[in-house]
Structure 1
Amino acid sequence: MSRRLRIAMIAPPWFELPPRGYGGIEYMCSYLVDSLVDRGHHVTLVSSGENGTKAHHVRTYDTPQWRRLGEPMPEVRHAASVRRILDSLDVDVVHDHSLVGPLLAAGRAVPTVVTLHEPVTGDYGEYFRLLGDTVRLVAISEAQRASAPELNWCATVHNGVDPAGFRFQRRKADWVLFLGQCMPHKGMHTAIDAARAAGVAIRIAAKCGEPAEIEYFESEIRPRLDKDVEWLGEVGGERKKALLADASCLLFPIAWDEPFGMVMIEAMASGTPVVALDRGSVREVVTDGLTGIVRDAAADLPNAIRLAAQLDADHCRKAATDAFSSDLMAERYERVYEAALESGHR
Structure 2
Amino acid sequence: MRRAIVRGTGHYLPERVVENSWFEDKLDTTDEWIRSRTGIERRHFAAPEQRTSDLGIAAAKAALQNAGLLANKIDAVIVATSTPDFTFPSVATMVQAGLGMNRGFAFDVQAVCAGFVFALSNADAMIRAGQADRVLVIGAETFSRIMDWTDRGTCVLFGDGAGAVVLEAVEGEGTPQDRGILACDLNSDGQYRELLYVDGGVASTGTAGHLRMQGNLVFRHAVEKLADTAHRALDKAGLTPADVDWLVPHQANLRIIEATAKRMHLPLDKVVLTVADHGNTSAASIPLALSVANAEGRFQPGQVLVAEAIGGGLAWGSVVLRW
Structure 1 length as normaliser, TM-score?
0.27
- Give 1 or 2: higher strand fraction: 2
Pick 1 or 2: higher relative contact order, CA cutoff 8 A, min separation 6.
Answer: 2
Structure 2 length as normaliser, TM-score?
0.28
> Of the two, which has the highest radius of gyration?
1
- Give 1 or 2: higher helix fraction: 1
